[in-house]
Structure 1
Amino acid sequence: MKKIIPVISLALLLSCNKKKDVQEVNVFNVEKTAEKIAREKPRSEIKDIDYSIYYNEAQLYCKRNNLNQDKFFLIDLGMHSGLKRFFVYDFNENKILKSYIVSHGCGDNKWGATMSKENASISNEFDSHCSSIGKFVVLDRGVSQWGIKVNYVLQGKEKTNSKARSRAIVLHSWEAISNDEVYPKGTPEGWGCPAVSNESMKEIDKLLQENKKVLMWIIKS
């Protein structure tokens, strides 16, 4: 009986230590989660960005390159992916007509996850699964395997997006994309295409059938 008591005591000691470790890990996880939540600003505190310099440059670019001079698209991948950051701008009325949620490329992260929601990876390279920045011209309407089965070819016009067509980077819709802002959550990430919700794509598709050679400018503010 005397030999059994030390064994039981040792087992209890190890058990207590294990519970202590688990408790410490749980406390650590709670603290990290609280810290992360504390860093995320309430939506009401996120200030609107002044894009006027981009609007002015875009208008000049469209005139010089014989592109559509009524509308253009501005996408800001510098914004959190849970916010509306795809803007339809009207040159004639000098204002944003619509804004939408849009996804960016997952890069080295898991497809469909939201791991880079606060910092989109940028690349022009094949198999990078990243979005490219720069000026694009929205060209031919095609058939997509995604969303409402409609896509638009994007022709990159700069060194930063010159491989867009060969990388099959197109504008399309995706059922995983929300029609409304989801911040502080992120938007599911694909392989580099700017993807919007089905409802958003219906509106964009109608606009693009009425307006040809529209400039899409993707930036990272």
Structure 2
Amino acid sequence: MKKVMLIIVGFLLAGLLIFIAFNYRSTANYLFRNKAINSQKPVDPSELPRIMAKAKQLVAYARKNGYDTTVVFVLNMRIASGKDRFFIYDAIHQKVVQQALVAHGRCNETVQVSRRYSNVVGGGCTALGKYKIGLAYQGTFGLAYKLHGLEASNNNAFERFVVLHAHECVPNNEVDPYPICQSDGCPTVSPAFLKILANIIDGKTKPVLLEIIDA
């Protein structure tokens, strides 16, 4: 009888831990979301070459197509959600100047465990590709920026209401190995990081580009 009780308790504890780890407002969010953001830190050396290469390609695309060429944003969804994967690239000084967490789409699942992407309207997934950051507006989650998909892989972004916005469930700093919350397809950052992004976006006379990759 005692052995059976221990097994039951074990299952209950395991279930509780899974719920805490993957609930929309995960344990990591509660523990770390109130810490001051530290976005100015060195990029993981194993990730830096990929980010730099993609950022330079994006700047070249911006130059060719009339977008802002001083800064671009690169989001690498191959990186675990509890690690920084939203990178701000300063094209003038040719370096990543800031980085932070960003949520990915849950594809209408309670929790999207595997990496999955889709451009389908109503699909709730992240869509890979280049985006033009459009006009700012006040939405359900406060300040947000319209996103316009520039490729076949994400050209339904506007119709899907995919926008750049903040949510308090996204912590200010890395929480790996914990996951962070997931979105309905929007690249979602912490409120503190959105303020940093807003200062950059609003200070430009031409649209800033953002690219979501898996590399």
Which residue of 1 is the match for residue 49 of structure 2? 50
Matched, 1:171 2:164: yes
3-state SS of paired residue (1:191)? coil
2:26 matched residue in structure 1: none
| Matching residue of 1:143 | 138
| 2:212 aligned residue (200, 209, 218) | 218
Question: Which residue is 1:161 aligned to?
Answer: 154
Cα deviation code 1:90-117 (max 9, x no counterpart): 111000111011000011421xx5x52x
Maintained 8 Å contact 1:74/1:217: yes
Alignment partner of 1:191 out of 181, 184, 189: 184
Counterpart in the other structure of 1:180: 173
Structure 2 Cα separation of the partners of residues 24 and 50 of structure 1: 48
How far did 1:144 drift? Answer: 1.9
- Does the Cα contact within 8 Å between 1:105 and 1:190 map onto a contact in 2? yes
8 Å contact kept, 1:137–1:214: yes
Name the SS of the counterpart of 1:171 in structure 2: strand
Code of the aligned partner of 1:220 = D
**Amino acid paired to 1:181:** E
Distance of 1:91 and 1:127 partners within structure 2: 35
RMSD, aligned α-carbons: 2.3
The aligned counterpart of 2:35 is none
**Percentage of pairs with the same residue:** 26
What is the CA–CA distance in structure 1 between the aligned matches of 2:194 and 2:65, rounded to whole Å?
26
CA apart distance, 1:57: 1.2
Q: Normalising by the residue count of structure 1, what TM-score does the alignment of the two structures yield? A: 0.76
2:163/2:187 contact within 8 Å kept: yes
Residue 98 (structure 2) pairs with residue 98 (structure 1): yes
What TM-score comes out, normalization by structure 2 length? Answer: 0.78
CA distance in 1, matches of 2:47, 2:165: 26
Give runs of ≥4 in structure 1 deviating > 2 Å: 19-27, 45-49
Residues in 1 aligned to 2:132 and 2:118: alpha-carbon distance in whole angstroms: 18
1:204 counterpart residue number: 197
Give the corresponding residue for 1:12.
Answer: none
- Higher relative contact order (CA closer than 8 Å, sequence separation 6+): 2
Please give the alpha-carbon distance, in whole angstroms, between the structure 1 residues aligned to 2:201 and 2:109.
32
Structure 1 residues 148-193: Cα deviation after superposition (integer angstroms, max 9, x where no partner): x111010000010010000000000001110010100011001000
Distance, in Å, in 1 between the alignment partners of 2:175 and 2:45 is 14
Structure 2 residue runs without a partner (length 5+): 18-43
Larger radius of gyration: 1
Could you say which residue in structure 1 is the equivalent of 2:115?
120
| Residue-pair matches, total | 184
1:193 is matched by which residue type in structure 2? Answer: C
Per-residue CA deviation, residues 120-155 of structure 1 (Å, 9 max, x unaligned), is 321000121100000000011111221xx1110100
Task: Rate the CA distance shift 1:144–1:108 in 2: closer, same or farther, 3 A.
Answer: closer
- The question of whether the paired residues in 2 share the 8 Å contact of 1:133 and 1:217 is answered with yes
User: Which amino acid is 1:159 matched to?
Assistant: A
